[in-house]
């Protein structure tokens, strides 16, 4: 996990547009809030933590943009979610979702439940904690990628997946080494 953290900054720099951006380009402060999957099937969830992009909703809730990037072939490039978070009541729900596939070059609406989640998926719980408990981001292994145009997030995926796959391979190798030492000491 430590190597993953060390490699996020170069990945973010590779993904960032270094030239000046036009004022109408949506900029965000992107964070990895959750990742899951395995070799060749990783998914990374990025939240936009820019205060200008977190909106107040009626009843004290807030709206946050979360992007799910997919490594697996046949999946969309990413899915974008409008996540509503109510910190006071410790709850979360999805208010909108759309897939982006570069083949169509447009967002296509997907099904979702707009009900408050009694047992939210890990990425939803992490998204809630991202907004409600910002002081705990580092402890919850949330990593800042940095400020970049929203259009650059799909380019971040391959870099992040490469990092996750290297870490998974290292973990598998270390497990085999540990098993080998365990067998040697048992004899």
The pLDDT value given to residue 187:
65
More confident residue, 71 or 16: 71
The pLDDT value given to residue 22:
40
- Tens digits of per-residue pLDDT, 62-117? 999 999 988 888 888 889 999 999 999 999 999 999 998 888 888 899 999 999 99
Helix, strand, coil percentages (3-state) for the chain, rounded to 5, are 40, 30, 30
Contact 122, 34 (CB under 8 A): yes
Domain extents in the chain = 2-186
The pLDDT value given to residue 156:
73
- Quick one: which H or E segment has residue 124? helix 122-132
- Quick one: which H or E segment has residue 182? helix 153-186
54 by DSSP, 3-state: which? Answer: coil
Contact 72, 53 (CB under 8 A): no
The pLDDT value given to residue 13:
35
63 by DSSP, 3-state: which? Answer: strand
The pTM assigned to this predicted structure is: 0.74
The pLDDT value given to residue 184:
79
């Amino acid at each position: 996990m430590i190597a993953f953290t060390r490699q996020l900054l170069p990945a973010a720099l590779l993904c960032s547009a270094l030239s000046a951006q036009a004022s109408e380009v949506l900029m965000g402060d992107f964070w990895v809030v959750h990742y899951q999957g395995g070799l060749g099937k990783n998914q990374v969830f990025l939240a936009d933590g820019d205060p200008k992009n977190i909106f107040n909703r009626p009843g004290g809730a807030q709206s946050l943009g979360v992007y799910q990037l997919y490594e697996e072939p046949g999946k969309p490039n990413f899915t974008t979610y409008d996540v509503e978070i109510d910190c006071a009541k410790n709850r979360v729900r999805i208010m909108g979702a759309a897939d982006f596939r570069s083949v169509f070059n447009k967002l296509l609406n997907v099904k979702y439940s707009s009900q408050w989640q009694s047992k939210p998926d890990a990425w939803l719980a992490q998204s809630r904690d991202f907004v409600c408990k910002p002081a705990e981001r580092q402890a919850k292994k949330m990593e800042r990628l940095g400020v970049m145009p929203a259009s650059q997030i799909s380019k971040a995926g391959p870099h992040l997946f490469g990092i996750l796959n290297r870490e998974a391979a290292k973990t598998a190798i270390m497990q085999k080494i540990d098993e080998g030492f365990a067998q040697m000491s048992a004899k």
